[in-house]
Amino acid sequence: MQHQSGVLYVVATPIGNLADMVPRAVTVLQMVNVIACEDTRHSARLLQHFSIETPCVAYHDHSDDKRVEALLSRLQAGDDVALISDAGTPLVSDPGYRLVRRVREQGVKVVPVPGACAFVAALSAAGLPSDRFVFEGFLPAKPGARLKQLQSLSAETRTLIFYEAPHRVLDCVQDMVRAFGPEREVVLARELSKAFETIHGAPVAELARWIEADSNQQRGEIVLLVRAACGNDESLDDEVVRTMEVLLAELPLKQAAQLGAKLTGLRKNELYQWALGRQSDKS
């Protein structure tokens, strides 16, 4: 009779508020043979709070292959293993990809245990279109590479979602002004589910000034959500397109959008983003 291998459970944990822990996650963490943690010391408070005494081992995507193979061997021997990150859903800008791929290649069952995810929570409360979005994770830390990547996304017609480190958030938002123009709406979601939770949206140039004026907004876990660029010419009436083409031929982009809004009754920001996307398409 063939030996039945164990199961790898990919378990989401709270992003701040421990009350967000789902009951199934507690049950799984209590019943598995070992928990693979991004940082065992960080996870100790969570496990202690829920009286979880399961042994832990450290695992992150920089772990050497020996750690991956050791966990695989335990699974193949019949042990159940749970994978958790410091907060939220593993693999979503957190460790786990190498382990999950390796064990799936070997025919080991992988079971997700859903729960908190920072970017999903932010999107649900941001007031931006959520029917189509793209999660970009963390932008490059180096300024030149970050600006280049943002510029490459300037014409994206889905809501953009980023994670950002607190010490880089102001520089990042200022780069968004350069890449997307000052009128693009951006929402900052900070410290979600925690005591100082903040969700604040504004035209990106205004948001940059707001962050700069309040150092508290440069602390904690941060999600940035960017309103999509307007799509192609089909997103505007033909008459509006002709009006904007005339204005853009004679005026700077910002002035053309302002005057276009007065002539057409459309929002200045909508016309500005349409024109910005049009320029990007021609470049």
Place of tokens 């050497």: 64
Place of tokens 């079971």: 111
Q: Is residue 78 within 8 Å of 7, Cβ to Cβ?
A: no
Give the pLDDT confidence score for residue 18 in this predicted structure: 96
Q: Is residue 223 within 8 Å of 162, Cβ to Cβ?
A: yes
Give the pLDDT confidence score for residue 235 in this predicted structure: 63
What is the percent of the chain with per-residue pLDDT over 70, rounded to a whole number?
94
Q: Is residue 10 within 8 Å of 83, Cβ to Cβ?
A: yes
Give the pLDDT confidence score for residue 2 in this predicted structure: 45
pLDDT < 50 regions, the chain? 1-3, 232-234
Tokens of 269: 């920001």
Tokens of 213: 């004026």
Q: What CATH number does the domain located at 7-116 have?
A: 3.40.1010.10
Give the pLDDT confidence score for residue 137 in this predicted structure: 96
pTM: 0.81
Q: What is the residue extent of each domain of the chain?
A: 7-116, 130-226, 233-282
Kindly tell me the sign of the dihedral angle through the C-alpha atoms of 125, 126, 128, 134: negative
- Name residue 237's amino acid: D
From first CA to last CA, the distance across the chain in angstroms is 65
- Name residue 37's amino acid: C
Residues forming beta bridges with residue 11, ordered by sequence position: 113
The 3-state DSSP class for residue 95 equals coil
Residues contacting 63, CB < 8 A, separation 6+: 98
How far apart, in whole angstroms, are the C-alpha atoms of residue 136 and residue 134? 6
Q: Is residue 179 within 8 Å of 204, Cβ to Cβ?
A: no
How far apart, in whole angstroms, are the C-alpha atoms of residue 52 and residue 55? 9
- Topology (CATH level 3) of domain 130-226: 3.30.950
How far apart, in whole angstroms, are the C-alpha atoms of residue 195 and residue 218? 15
How far apart, in whole angstroms, are the C-alpha atoms of residue 10 and residue 90? 7
Give the pLDDT confidence score for residue 272 in this predicted structure: 84
Give the pLDDT confidence score for residue 233 in this predicted structure: 45
Q: Helices 204-213 and 169-180 meet at what angle, rounded to 10? A: 160
Q: Is residue 57 within 8 Å of 44, Cβ to Cβ?
A: no
- Name residue 235's amino acid: S
